[in-house]
């Protein structure tokens, strides 16, 4: 059986950057076995030490999750697609999440401003009054938060809450278009509030210049009708999901990486939650952030606008929402896929036998591998940029290994470095002299830690160091002419 296996961006590192591969097999299990034989590096990414599929990976045959078919025994036919959907950081028309609550009478100014909504039978005056009465919390004021803030403000959502503890950086401006050059260094929530004022001064904005935590999540989220998750890390995503489940709120989810995006509505009252889809996140460091892996500037606009659309539908009522469905978008190949998801009876927070009842008691850092990652980082010896520079200038023998990808090295080559991407380290470890100090270099000093640990697991015993802070720290502390990116 000729079957197409669709490889997500996060796993293409292990498949020589192929986005699709044609393989022969009659069941999903056979196909995954052939895949791991042809591309051995995929085995560790897809399966744990017991040979079980990792919890953060979902496998679909066309649009059906194999969990809802026959698992690895799910039969395949010619032309089928086997789609790997890792975590990236349904139904018919639904009633409004506001129930019977509607807003005050629209003023003449509002009738004029929202006239194009009022002309739509599906929204009309009643729907616009609901938008006016609604309170929406946007978690994150970055790439996904930008279109959410802008379009929900323009749509006339009465109250927007925006939570983010970050400041605007120059590298944000490539995609976070509600922030401008003059906003660099300002809190993102302050810039976002100014953007709303310019778009629609009738909207009330509540800002939280802090991080969403297990201590403040329920208190904040309880004040809102809908939560739009525009965060960029797994611990916040699971925290938002759990708080929404416990409080009975819909979680309008968006995620993106490089050229791929996902949108869904996780609403335990009417369908599955995030944990039904992804029982566990990927191991820390396996899926890079946009800061490490990059993202095409228009992608958050596409995904965030989809999220804004789902928020509006939930408030107004009607339409076919993304409850029970994940919409996957590949911007580079311009392909859309719709994948069905179902409620998991074994889900620890919305299943039949719940084990999570209080988010304050749940360790999200440990669950998302952050604690383990910190411990792993502590095990890896680091060298400061200035110390490496001193050793190079003194003519000391040291091997520098640049583990960045080729397109990153095209931005700037690191001096005196040999090139071995992380995906090749295991099979190329013999190229390294175990009697010489070896320093691993990446952009931020995170992948280089992964590189050292990968070599250790492969049996490498030589002295290995991580360049603390990576090339960005080198640019800050040693060579001001070296570009930061």
Element (H, E) at 417: strand 417-419
Chain-centroid distance, C-alpha 60: 19
**Same fold for the pair 2-86 and 380-477:** no
CA nearest to 278, candidates 248, 302, 242, 249: 242
CA nearest to 314, candidates 131, 145, 121, 132: 131
- Looking at residue 90, its pLDDT comes to 32
- Looking at residue 319, its pLDDT comes to 87
Burial 241-278 (b: 16+ CB within 10 A, else e): bbbbbbbebbbbbbbbbbbbbbbbbbbbebbbbbbbbb
Ranking 151-160, 437-446, 448-457 by mean pLDDT, the lowest is 448-457
Q: Assess whether pLDDT exceeds 90 at residue 158.
A: yes
Alpha helices (H) along 317-442: 364-367, 370-379, 385-393, 406-409, 425-428
Structure confidence by residue, pLDDT tens digits, 340-365: 999 999 999 999 989 999 987 777 87
Mean pLDDT score, 470-482 = 95
CA nearest to 455, candidates 477, 422, 414: 422
Check the CA dihedral 199-205-226-296 and report its sign: positive
* Superfamily of domain covering 108-373: NAD(P)-binding Rossmann-like Domain (3.40.50.720)
Query: How far is Cα 295 from Cα 85, in angstroms, rounded to an integer?
Result: 18
As a residue count, the chain comes to 485
Residue 323 · residue 267 · CB < 8 Å: yes
- Looking at residue 2, its pLDDT comes to 86
Structure confidence by residue, pLDDT tens digits, 79-90: 899 999 887 653
Mean pLDDT score, 143-158 = 98
Fold of the 2-86 domain = Ubiquitin-like (UB roll) (3.10.20)
Mean pLDDT score, 155-159 = 98
- For the chain, give the mean pLDDT: 90
- Looking at residue 284, its pLDDT comes to 61
- Looking at residue 91, its pLDDT comes to 33
* Superfamily of domain covering 380-477: Rhodanese-like domain (3.40.250.10)
* Residue 159 buriedness (CB in 10 A; 0-12 / 13-18 / 19+): middle
Chain-centroid distance, C-alpha 126: 35
- Looking at residue 371, its pLDDT comes to 61
Query: How far is Cα 236 from Cα 251, in angstroms, rounded to an integer?
Result: 12
Is the whole model's pTM more than 0.85, yes or no?
no
Residue of 409 and 249 predicted with greater confidence:
249
Mean pLDDT score, 407-431 = 89
How many CB atoms neighbour CB 86 within 10 A? 21
Active site residues: 290, 442
Mean pLDDT score, 102-121 = 94
Sequence ranges of the domains in the chain: 2-86, 108-373, 380-477
Q: Assess whether pLDDT exceeds 70 at residue 292.
A: no
- Looking at residue 47, its pLDDT comes to 86
Tokens read off for 125? 């005056």
Q: How confident is the model at residue 178 (pLDDT cuts 50, 70, 90)?
A: very high
Residue of 202 and 99 predicted with greater confidence:
202
- Looking at residue 289, its pLDDT comes to 60
């Amino acid at each position: 059986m000729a079957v197409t296996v669709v490889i997500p961006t996060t796993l293409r590192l292990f498949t020589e950057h192929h986005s699709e591969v044609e393989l022969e097999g009659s069941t999903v299990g056979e196909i995954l076995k052939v895949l791991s034989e042809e591309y051995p590096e995929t085995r560790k990414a897809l399966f744990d030490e017991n040979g079980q599929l990792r919890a953060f990976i979902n496998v679909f045959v066309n649009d059906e999750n194999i969990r809802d078919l026959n698992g690895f025994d799910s039969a395949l036919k010619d032309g089928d697609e086997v789609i790997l959907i890792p975590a990236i950081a349904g139904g018919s028309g639904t009633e409004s999440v506001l129930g019977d609550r509607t807003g005050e009478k629209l003023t003449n100014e509002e009738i004029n401003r929202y006239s194009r909504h009022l002309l739509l039978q599906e929204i009309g005056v009643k729907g616009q009054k609901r938008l006016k009465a609604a309170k929406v919390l946007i978690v994150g004021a970055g790439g996904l938060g930008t279109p959410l803030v802008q379009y929900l403000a323009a749509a006339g959502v009465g109250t927007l809450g925006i939570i983010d503890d970050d400041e605007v950086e120059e590298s944000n401006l490539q995609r976070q278009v509600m922030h401008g050059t003059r906003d660099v260094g300002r809190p993102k929530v302050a810039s976002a509030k100014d953007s709303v004022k310019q778009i629609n001064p009738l909207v009330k904005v509540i800002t939280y210049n802090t991080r969403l935590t297990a201590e403040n999540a329920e208190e904040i989220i309880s004040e809102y009708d809908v939560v739009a998750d525009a965060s960029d890390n797994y611990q916040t995503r699971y925290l938002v999901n759990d708080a929404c489940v416990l409080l009975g709120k819909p979680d309008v989810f968006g995620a993106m990486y490089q050229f791929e995006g996902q949108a869904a509505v996780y609403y335990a009252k009417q369908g599955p939650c995030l944990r039904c889809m992804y029982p566990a996140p990927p191991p820390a460091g396996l899926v890079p952030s946009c800061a490490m892996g990059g993202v095409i500037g228009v992608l958050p606009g596409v995904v965030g606008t989809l999220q804004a659309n789902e928020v509006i539908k939930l408030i107004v009522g009607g339409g076919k929402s993304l409850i029970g469905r994940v919409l996957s978008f590949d911007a580079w190949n311009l392909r859309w896929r719709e994948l069905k998801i179902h409620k998991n009876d074994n889900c620890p927070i919305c299943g039949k036998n719940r084990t999570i009842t209080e988010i304050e008691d749940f360790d999200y850092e440990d669950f998302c591998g952050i604690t383990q990652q910190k411990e792993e980082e502590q095990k890896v010896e680091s060298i400061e940029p200035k110390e490496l520079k001193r050793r190079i200038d003194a003519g000391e023998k040291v091997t520098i290994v640049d583990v960045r990808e080729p397109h990153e090295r095209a931005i700037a080559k690191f001096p005196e470095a040999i090139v071995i991407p992380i995906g090749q380290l295991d099979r190329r470890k013999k190229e390294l002299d175990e009697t010489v100090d070896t320093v691993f270099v990446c952009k931020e000093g995170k992948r280089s830690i992964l590189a050292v640990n990968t070599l250790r697991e492969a049996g490498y015993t030589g002295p290995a160091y991580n360049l603390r802070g990576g090339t960005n720290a080198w640019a800050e502390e040693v060579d001001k002419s070296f570009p930061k990116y």
